[in-house]
Structure 1
Amino acid sequence: MARDVADCDECEQLINRKARRSAIARVTFAVPTVEPQITDKLVIDGAERVITNLTPIPPAGTVVAYKAWCAG
């Protein structure tokens, strides 16, 4: 028997997870003159975002870029 999407708790949870994921942005950027910190914030399209994860590329050796995950 088919279920109505509006009555489906699993569907609602999936929609909520997707909405949360879309609020997280992953940004890759070149090494700036000042080393970025996890406590810094990024401005993306005029909106200030909190950095939740910051990873150097490559993980060891001379850093050539950073990956940052930002919450909206």
Structure 2
Amino acid sequence: MNIKNVGNGTFSGNGKSKEEDKSKSKRGRKPKADKQEYRYMIRLNKVENERFLLLFQRSGMKSMSRFMADCVLNNPV
């Protein structure tokens, strides 16, 4: 009788062992170490929005979200 040992972890079906499959580089974006996953929303009226945009322009920052976070976290209430 000629019986093969199947399911012992040495053959994955594509000609490579499982160890070789694991060492293969994964595709896609690498996860960030400090993922920013918490989001908040604010609503402003026309006057508040004009004031906010003026403050944002004066700050010289490129990112509006960074400006908002900086204002909220670095100004004591």
Give the TM-score range, shorter chain.
under 0.3
TM-score (norm 1): 0.28
The structure carrying a bigger helix percent of its residues is: 2
If asked which structure has higher relative contact order (CA below 8 Å, sep 6+), I would say 1
TM-score (norm 2): 0.27
The structure carrying a bigger strand percent of its residues is: 1
